[in-house]
Structure 1
Amino acid sequence: ESLIHIDDTVVASKQTFLKLHETAHHDMPTHRKMFRFFQDCEKTLDPEISDQFEREANNFARFALFKGNTFAEYAADCAFEIKTPMKLAKKFGASIYASAREFARTNHRACVVYVLEQLEFVDGDGACAVVRRIEPSPRFKAEFGVPTDKVITPDHFLWPVIPIGRKMTRPRSLSIADMNGQAHECVAEAFDTTYNIIILLYPTKALTAKTVIIPPGFQEATAS
């Protein structure tokens, strides 16, 4: 019998992901064999292999938590707004942080999620918010690239979106350039989870984009 030890000070919604992550290490044959081997000796895994195992365990946990493509299918039927991953987080027993990342990662429309640390006030520099994660959708990545922002300061275009003194920021219009330098009207909105600040940004054209989803097993009719 194996026991999974989880820090009970971690938020309950995050504990679910951690349990699934550790389950992956136990249930995936390669992980189980390697960890048992290294537990019985003083050697350690090569850092690159260790990182690979962690990524594989994260993918296992993500797949189990969001039921494969089920989360993406639910999200596609919901409003294209920041409240959607917040609501789906409760439905899937996930944290808003994980749900927001999954919302962007699996979305067929162009959008990007910024995850910021809470605001800091630095002597001489004023306020800022360190960027923890940036999760672009495949379409956003293809059109706009992957943002490389490290910190959001008062002169950053996303600063007005940060909810200061409130939990949420209403959708705000702004403009960003694609990889060809063409400007696009966008909308950004944010939510303060208490632990992080989540920003969802998307071009307004994504609101009118339509996608035809073909069910599995569908075969196009041919003339006889």
Structure 2
Amino acid sequence: MIDDFTKKEIDKISYELLKGSKSFDVFPTPVDQIMNYSNFVIDNNIDLINIEHSFFETLKEKSFKTLQSGLSKIKGIFDRREKTIYIDVSLESNIGKKNFVQLHEIGHGVLNWQNETTLFLDNDETLSPELEEQFEEEANYFASLTLFQQDRFEAEVEKLKLGLSSVIALRQKFGASVHSTFRNYVLSSKNRCALLILTPIKDSKGNSALCTTRNLFYSNPFKNDIGELDLPVDFGFKWSFIRDYKFKKRFSETGEISLNTVYGETLDCSYHFFNNTYNSFVFIFPKGEKNKARTKIHLKNLS
């Protein structure tokens, strides 16, 4: 958990970087512009997923920070000695993820108290916002704060109606992934809402038999007014949003469901469903909950 003092320091560094690179109120967030201002060099032509150990010999680095699980599935590398950031070539097809990884690596470079470590190797584990390893958590916080331009994200949320279409619009506006946008949307929301992220479980034949919980987030108003929901870890076909998933529904804003809270109360909810092939997102809020929209939404695409 990042302490308040460190958060303020990261806030200040992020603000100065956005301001100095003239990136505030430029959409999507100009990550390459921020990169150039930070004086780091980027190399995104390396296949880091299939990287060989000999690659590190070219860096002439004998000690570096990495996961105990080894060098598999690396998405980004920050080499402080060469002031170079390496981004896996596969992320070219996922701009939202690439932007976050790039800013995560910039974070390792500009948070000066991390200078003791000269090389960072990052995969899905270190890039997860739920990771509590100090330097990685700080870099993730910096990346999210910078990508969503600090208070600009909340200002945009206030203009839009409550729901999935707003999340997709914000994702497109800031150049982020659906996952990071949804998480930020719920955690910063002034509405009572929750986000259930599901990952499919494969049976012995490789078919998706059911889904398991990857993450569950609540807005502060939801936790304060309602508490938490009494939900299982795994979900089967009896759940309407699993039927949405099984029937390959991509996008829906018409779901209704009754859920129990941990206090034994029944809560009538609306839910919105989105499946991006990697995860399914179930956005939950009490029936009647809404945010008065001041801006109409025109979605370009759902990819």
* TM-score between the two structures when normalised by the length of structure 1: 0.77
Q: 2:96 aligns with which of 5, 10, 13?
A: 13
Three-state SS of the structure 2 residue aligned to 1:91 is helix
Task: Report the Cα distance in structure 2 between the residues aligned to 1:58 and 1:75, rounded to whole angstroms.
Answer: 21
1:187 aligned residue: 270
Instruction: Note the residue ranges of structure 1 that are not aligned, 5 or more in a row.
Output: 40-48, 211-224
Partner of 1:222: none
Change (3 A) 1:206 1:103: same
| CA distances 1:151-175 after superposition (whole Å, capped 9, x unpaired) | 2222346434536223123421111
**Which residue in 2 is equivalent to 1:89?**
171
SS at match of 2:257: strand
Matched position secondary structure for 2:255: strand
Supply the AA of the counterpart residue of 1:150.
V
Aligned-partner SS, 1:189:
strand
Query: 158-167 or 70-79, which moves further after superposition?
Result: 158-167
Given the superposition, is the C-alpha separation of residues 158 and 7 from structure 1 closer, same or farther in structure 2, using an over 3 Å criterion?
same
In structure 2, the residue corresponding to 1:195 is in which secondary structure? coil
| Pair 1:126–1:78, CA change in 2 (3 A) | closer
Q: Are 1:3 and 2:84 matched, yes or no?
A: yes
| Counterpart for residue 150 of structure 2 | 68
Q: Which residue of 2 aligns with 1:46?
A: none
Residue 250 (structure 2) aligns with = 167
1:129 paired to 2:216? no
| Equivalent in 179, 182, 191 of residue 109 of structure 1 | 191
Measured in 2, the distance between the counterparts of 1:137 and 1:82 equals 15
1:138 is aligned to 2:216: no
Question: Is the alpha carbon distance of 1:197 and 1:25 closer, same or farther for their aligned partners in structure 2, counting shifts above 3 Å?
Answer: same
Q: Is 189-198 or 141-150 further displaced after alignment?
A: 141-150
Q: Which runs of 4+ in 1 moved over 3 A?
A: 118-123, 146-149, 155-158, 160-163
CA contact (8 A) 1:161 1:172 kept: no
| 1:209-220 aligned within 5 A | none
Aligned to 2:28: none
CA separation of 1:109 and 1:99: change in aligned 2, threshold 3 A: same
- The question of whether the paired residues in 2 share the 8 Å contact of 1:111 and 1:137 is answered with yes
Shift of 1:96: 0.9
| Count of aligned pairs | 197
Change beyond 3 A, Cα 1:179–1:76 = farther
Provide the rounded CA distance (Å) in 2 between the counterparts of 1:162 and 1:68. Answer: 34
Q: TM-score scaled to structure 2, two decimals?
A: 0.58
- Taking only the aligned residue pairs, the percentage that are identical comes to 22
**SS of residue in 2 equivalent to 1:188:** strand
Q: Is the alpha carbon distance of 1:180 and 1:157 closer, same or farther for their aligned partners in structure 2, counting shifts above 3 Å?
A: farther
- Structure 2 gap ranges (5+): 1-81, 121-130, 293-303
Q: Say whether 1:80 aligns with 2:174.
A: no
Q: Among 259, 263, 279, which residue is 1:176 paired with?
A: 259
Select between 85-94 and 138-147 the one with higher mean Cα deviation. 138-147
Cα deviation digits, residues 31-65 of structure 1 (max 9, x gap)? 12x203x89xxxxxxxxx98111111111001001
How far apart are residue 200 of structure 1 and its match? 0.5
1:136 deviation in Å? 1.3
